[in-house]
């Protein structure tokens, strides 16, 4: 099982966060990246910190894009260390988890996902971190631990949540429960999402609940 089997859950979460914070991010980029504003005296240190963090995070995104793993790790560590009180620390933790999953270091990846889960802001990203940690635990063969991490339904991730719950239930040997979870995931999936693989999972367990009655 792939921990990052789809980026759709992350995309949806980022859209929600961007709708709330996009203007602040853009302002941070303009202020942090231009010498035109070098003479501005900041009255709010948290705004200055956020602006600088936005610049560092853009660097992290660029490092990920060009697959410069060491630079990504360095920038991720900087964001988590120097800018731990900003939203970018949560985003950096998610990025670092992905880096370490790709390197095969699941323990480090899990630690970063827990860090993201424990951040005070960005509830959508905290929920995303919980989903990914549960996936990671399932991939490691810890189905019971994954179910405990997954916990209660996650608003805004309904289809993703129920599909993962079905995966965990199937690993636990609860085929009928998994079948019901897959059906619910399919019913709640967005029209923009490719559900062909989810449909295959459901079909492998006998198709829609009630279809064989």
Does the residue 39 lie in any domain? no
> Helix/strand/coil (H, E, C) string of 5-74?
CCCHHHHHHHHHHHHHHHHHHHHHHHHHHCHHHCCCCCCCHHHHHHHHHHHHHHHHHHHHHCCCHHHHHH
Q: Which of 68-82, 101-115, 199-213 has the lowest mean pLDDT?
A: 199-213
Q: For position 208, what pLDDT does the model report?
A: 80
Backbone angles phi, psi at 152, to 5 degrees: -75, 160
Q: Where a domain ends, among 112, 145, 178?
A: 145
Q: Which of 7, 5, 14, 12 is nearest to 136 (CA)?
A: 5
138 and 181 assigned to the same domain: no
What are 47-57's pLDDT values in tens digits?
667 778 888 88
Domain encompassing residue 64: 1-34+44-145
In the chain the first and final C-alpha atoms are separated, in Å, by: 31
- Predicted TM-score of the model (pTM): 0.75
Q: For position 36, what pLDDT does the model report?
A: 36
Q: For position 37, what pLDDT does the model report?
A: 40
Q: How many CB atoms lie within 10 A of CB 196?
A: 7
Compute the average pLDDT of residues 3-28: 51
Q: Which of 56, 1, 54 is nearest to 23 (CA)?
A: 54
Does the residue 158 lie in any domain? yes
Domain count, the chain: 2
- Between 13 and 68, the higher pLDDT residue: 68
141 and 158 assigned to the same domain: no
Residues 6+ positions from 27 with CB-CB distance below 8 Å: 51
Question: In whole angstroms, what is the distance from residue 169 CA to residue 132 CA?
Answer: 16
**In Å, how far are 26, 79, 101, 202 from 46, measured between CA atoms?**
16, 14, 32, 49
126 and 186 assigned to the same domain: no
Rg of the chain taking only CA atoms, in angstroms: 20
112 and 7 assigned to the same domain: yes
């Amino acid at each position: 099982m792939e921990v990052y089997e789809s980026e759709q859950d992350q995309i949806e979460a980022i859209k929600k966060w961007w709708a709330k914070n996009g203007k602040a991010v853009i302002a941070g980029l303009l202020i942090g990246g231009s010498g035109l504003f070098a003479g501005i005296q900041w009255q709010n240190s948290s705004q200055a910190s956020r602006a600088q963090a936005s610049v560092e995070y853009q660097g992290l995104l660029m490092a990920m894009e060009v697959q410069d793993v060491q630079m990504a790790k360095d920038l991720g560590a900087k964001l988590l260390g120097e800018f731990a009180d900003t939203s970018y620390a949560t985003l950096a933790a998610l990025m670092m988890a992905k880096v370490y999953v790709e390197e095969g270091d699941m323990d480090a990846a899990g630690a970063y996902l827990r860090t993201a889960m424990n951040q005070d802001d960005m509830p959508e990203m905290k929920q995303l971190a919980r989903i990914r940690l549960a996936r990671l635990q399932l991939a490691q063969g810890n189905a019971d631990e994954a179910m405990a991490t997954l916990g209660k339904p996650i608003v805004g991730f309904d289809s993703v949540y129920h599909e993962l719950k079905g995966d965990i239930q199937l690993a636990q040997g609860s085929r009928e429960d998994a079948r019901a979870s897959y059906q619910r995931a399919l019913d709640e999936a967005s029209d923009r999402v490719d559900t062909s693989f989810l449909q295959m999972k459901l079909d492998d367990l006998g198709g829609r609940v009630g279809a064989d009655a």
